[in-house]
Amino acid sequence: MSDAVTPRVLYCNCTYAKVVPEETKGDVLRQLCDSGVAFDAVADLCDMAARSDPALAKIAEGGPVRIAACFPRAVKWLFHGAKTPLPEEGVEVLNMREAPADEIVAGLLAATAPETEATAS
Amino acid sequence: MSRTEGKNLRVVVYEGAGSQPLPDEDRFAMISSLLAEGFEVTRAAPGGDVADADARTMLVLGRFDEKSPPTARGLDGETTVHFRDVTGVPAEGVVEVAREVRGETGARDLTAWKPWFPVIDYDRCTNCLQCLTFCLFDVYGVDGKQEITVQNEDNCKTDCPACSRVCPEVAILFPKYRKGPINGDVVRAEDIQREAMKVDISTLLGGDLYGSLRTRQRSARERFSTERDESKALLERKRCLGKLKKDLDIPDEVLMTLPSAEDIEARAERARLKAEKRRARSTTVADTKPAPTEDDWGI
Ligand code: SF4
Ligand code: SF4
Q: According to the model, what pLDDT value does residue A18 have?
A: 92
Q: What residues in A contact B114, CB-CB < 8 Å?
A: 16-17
CA of B142 to the centre of ligand 1 (A): 25
Cβ atoms of B161 and B117 closer than 8 Å: no
Taking an 8 Å cut-off on Cβ atoms, the answer to whether A41 and B42 are in contact is: yes
Return the number of other C-beta atoms located less than 10 Å from residue A31's C-beta.
17
Q: Residue B179, Cα to own-chain centre: how many angstroms?
A: 17
pTM as predicted? 0.80
Going along chain B from its start, the domains and CATH numbers come out as 10-105 (3.30.379), 119-294 (no CATH)
Residue of the CA atom closest to atom 8 of ligand 1: A14
Structural Rg of chain A based on CA atoms: 13
Cβ atoms of A34 and A58 closer than 8 Å: no
Q: According to the model, what pLDDT value does residue A97 have?
A: 98
Q: Which residues does residue B72 pair with via DSSP β-bridges, in sequence order? A: B81
- Give the residue, B111 or B156, on which the prediction is more confident: B156
Confidence at B246, pLDDT banded by 50, 70, 90: low
Query: Does the Cβ of A12 fall within 6 Å of ligand 1?
Result: yes
Taking an 8 Å cut-off on Cβ atoms, the answer to whether A43 and B54 are in contact is: no
Residue B237 has pLDDT above 50, yes or no: no
The C-alpha of A47 sits at a distance from chain B's nearest C-alpha, in angstroms, of 5
Q: Which of B192, B149, B172 is nearest to B249 (CA)?
A: B172
Query: Does the Cβ of B115 fall within 6 Å of ligand 1?
Result: no
CA of B215 to the centre of ligand 1 (A): 38
- Give the residue, B129 or B205, on which the prediction is more confident: B129
Q: In sequence order, what E strands does chain B have?
A: 10-13, 19-20, 40-43, 57-64, 71-73, 80-85, 119-120, 140-142, 148-150, 172-173
Long-range contacts of B201-206 (CB under 8 A, 24+ apart): B201/B165, B201/B166, B201/B247, B201/B248, B204/B243, B204/B244, B204/B247, B205/B244
| B251-296 pLDDT tens trace | 776 766 665 556 656 666 676 666 666 656 655 544 444 444 444 4
Task: Choose the closest CB to A55 out of B49, B51, B184.
Answer: B51
Taking an 8 Å cut-off on Cβ atoms, the answer to whether A58 and B43 are in contact is: no
The helix or strand, by DSSP H or E, that contains position A12, with its residue range, turns out to be strand A8-12
Its ipTM equals 0.91
Cβ atoms of A101 and A78 closer than 8 Å: no
Torsion of CA B90, B94, B95, B96, to 10 degrees: 100
Q: A-contacting residues of B 201-260, CB under 8 Å?
A: none
Q: Which of B36, B183, B165 is nearest to B112 (CA)?
A: B36
Q: Find the residue in B nearest to A30 (Cα).
A: B28
**CA distance linking residue B254 with residue B236, whole number of Å:** 16
Q: Which of B165, B160, B146 is nearest to B258 (CA)?
A: B160
Taking an 8 Å cut-off on Cβ atoms, the answer to whether B184 and A38 are in contact is: no
Q: Is A57's Cβ below 8 Å from some Cβ in B?
A: yes
**CA distance linking residue B121 with residue A102, whole number of Å:** 29
Q: According to the model, what pLDDT value does residue A112 have?
A: 59
Q: Is A113's Cβ below 8 Å from some Cβ in B?
A: no
Buried b (16+ CB within 10 A) or exposed e, B88-105: ebebeebbebbbebbeeb
Long-range contacts of A109-113 (CB under 8 A, 24+ apart): A109/A9, A109/A35, A109/A37, A111/A4, A111/A6, A112/A2, A112/A4, A112/A6, A113/A4, A113/A5, A113/A6, A113/A7, A113/A64
Average pLDDT over every residue of A50-75: 94
Contacts of B234 (CB under 8 A, 6+ apart): B256
